[in-house]
Amino acid sequence: MRFWGEAYDLTVNVPDWVALERQISARLRAGEGFSLATINLDHLVKLREDARFRDAYAVQDLIVADGNPIVWMSKLARRNVELIPGSDAILPLTRMAAAQGKTIALVGSTDDTLAAAKSFLEGEVPGTRIVATVAPPMGFDPSGHSADEVLNALDAAGADIAFLALGAPKQELFAAYGRRTLPSVGFVSIGAGLDFFAGSQARAPKWVRAIAMEWLWRALSQPARLIPRYARCFRILPEEIAHAWQLRSGFKAGRPAPERD
């Protein structure tokens, strides 16, 4: 599935869980780093507004669909992708790391949340080795001196994968910066995933997620923060649906669309 605007053009290049496992496993075996981003409507809004975010997304190695609207538009365009939320990817990637004897670092949130998430993951997945937990300070610059301090800590700890719970756009900016500095580390942007494991933030019940209404559950739980965000997301839907129709018909902005994978 492809998304584009005046200054960006990106593709969901990991279409399903099988492809994700295959690509991550291969990179871990080879000792190759990567950066994994999870595209959703909020990110598409930010891509329109933030040049730094566009630059960070342009260098992400792997992009998955995080959000039902992305999945639905992919079906409309006849370029189907599976839903792979960042928070749902944590346990599978942790299992891959444990199976290959790779180490993990947790970055973001608070010290208490990271400690609780570390305890959960180590108890849930035998063989998990979490070698660093780093809660950046307020005002954290994802590509400045404070970012260098975090990267130095990851390097000193020998981390192979870093789960980034910094929120967008900071986690994607940090992943892009870290990818250049520590090319053997895998940076995975996961949003609030660690908070769910730690119990510091509640996730929507499974039945709510099953009917694709997690966004409404979250909006009602944090209305002041999330209702304006979702309103901005809804505003871009008509344009994104039009893009999906263009892909379905084989054209993008007047030019032939690329062949399907």
pLDDT confidence of residue 173 = 97
pLDDT confidence of residue 230 = 83
CB atoms within 10 A of CB 233: 20
- Going by pLDDT thresholds of 50, 70 and 90, the confidence category of residue 96 is very high
How do residues 75-92 score in pLDDT, each as one tens digit?
A: 999 999 999 999 999 999
Q: If you average pLDDT over residues 243-256, what whole number do you get?
A: 73
- Going by pLDDT thresholds of 50, 70 and 90, the confidence category of residue 6 is confident
What is the C-alpha separation between 171 and 167, in angstroms, rounded? 6
pTM score of the predicted model: 0.90
- Going by pLDDT thresholds of 50, 70 and 90, the confidence category of residue 250 is confident
pLDDT confidence of residue 251 = 67
In the chain, what are the domains? Answer: 2-192 (3.40.50)
pLDDT confidence of residue 254 = 45
Q: If you average pLDDT over residues 70-74, what whole number do you get?
A: 95
Mean of pLDDT over the chain: 90
